[in-house]
Amino acid sequence: MIEAKEINVNTETGGEISYETTLFAEPVFHTNNFTFTNALVTSWLAVLIIIILAVILRKKLKEVPNVLQNVFEIVVEGALDLCDQVTNNRSLSVIVFPIAISVFFFILINNWLGLLPIGGLGLLEKGEHGLAFIPFLRGGTADVNTTIALAIMAVIGANLFGIFSIGIWKIFNKYVNLKALGQIFTKIKKDKTIIIVAPITFFVGLLELVGEFAKIASLSFRLFGNVFAGEVLLASMAAIFAYILPIPFVFLEILVGVIQALIFSMLLVVYFTISATDHDAHDEHEKHEENVVVSV
């Protein structure tokens, strides 16, 4: 169990207080068998901020918007237009947009909370090399557990969305393409090359399944790596140059926080859009257009 101690323990005991940015989130307190880490506390704080903002905006909605409502309306309209550029379908954008914008704000607030100048608030824990300082807040996205959870949510959510949009059979055949193997028996008389093409198509489907796991790794480690590297950079700059010089890096990390949240959200929209696209219907439509052109 971690016990909170005063900072002046250092002067009384003559020990050294160390502060290291670790890859894992540090525990701050325990309840029964559940451990609360500083990254988990920050994530919950981000959710609380989003809820408070949502409630305030809902109660303050007016036909003539105030400043806060006007700002959020501009952000939402711009984000929805950006979503349209990916989906090319406003009805699809309206469905996916609430999930994407929620994930965007959750990641953004987590990224920014890790930059707040309240690093002096924390606990002192006895370690092998003296006293170790554990901050109360650590950016939730600087913990790989959070980013992996977000990535799994995005990939599984996209596939579930595809099931509801085009059906479970088409999603299943996307990964285990039994239809391609069945074409060997139905088309072999007309096209002998189907013996080669069908197994290749089936194998490509299996690669799609492997690609889903690659998406999880890509999404999670990209976000974690950039945010964690930013926190290490700021800690290093603050240790070397305590005044003025770290300020430009803080503004840089604020910008990086926005970019990383935007990238994750846009990739989520891309995955949902791909899953909701019926490629078989698209191919049949293209073949129909080709036949029309030939006949003309």
Is the pLDDT confidence value at 35 over 70?
A: yes
Confidence of residue 42 (pLDDT cuts 50, 70, 90): confident
Q: How far apart are CA 131 and CA 14, in angstroms?
A: 10
Q: How far is CA 22 from CA 43, 109, 148, in A?
A: 18, 21, 17
How many domains are contained in the chain? 1
Least confident of 61-65, 121-125, 143-147: 121-125
- Write the pLDDT tens digit of every residue in 206-227: 888 888 999 999 999 999 988 8
Decide: 265 and 100 in contact? Cβ < 8 Å.
yes
Confidence of residue 16 (pLDDT cuts 50, 70, 90): low
Say what the pLDDT of residue 272 is: 94
Least confident of 75-84, 123-132, 137-146, 199-208: 123-132
Say what the pLDDT of residue 134 is: 61
Is 82 among the domain residues?
Answer: yes
The Cβ-side half-sphere exposure at 177, using a 13 Å CA radius, reads: 20
Q: What percent of the chain has pLDDT over 70?
A: 76
Is the pLDDT confidence value at 128 over 70?
A: no
Is 170 among the domain residues?
Answer: yes
* DSSP structure class, residue 123: E
Is 69 among the domain residues?
Answer: yes
Q: Report pTM.
A: 0.78
Is the pLDDT confidence value at 142 over 80?
A: yes
Residues of the domain holding 246: 9-295
Is 97 among the domain residues?
Answer: yes
Q: How far is CA 75 from CA 92, 101, 104, 164, in A?
A: 19, 10, 12, 29
- 176 vs 294: which has the higher pLDDT: 176
Average pLDDT over the chain, rounded to an integer: 77
Is 2 among the domain residues?
Answer: no
Confidence of residue 21 (pLDDT cuts 50, 70, 90): low
- Write the pLDDT tens digit of every residue in 224-253: 988 888 877 777 776 676 666 667 777 888
- Write the pLDDT tens digit of every residue in 55-83: 888 887 887 777 878 888 888 899 999 99
Is 240 among the domain residues?
Answer: yes
Our measurement of the distance from residue 154's CA atom to the centroid of its chain's CA atoms, rounded to an integer in Å, reads: 7
Is 3 among the domain residues?
Answer: no
Which candidate, 202, 99, 221, places its Cα nearest to that of 160?
99
Decide: 99 and 268 in contact? Cβ < 8 Å.
yes
Is 98 among the domain residues?
Answer: yes
Instruction: Count Cβ atoms within 10 A of the Cβ of residue 150 and give its class: 0-12 exposed, 13-18 middle, 19 or more buried.
Output: buried
Which candidate, 38, 66, 146, 53, places its Cα nearest to that of 101?
53
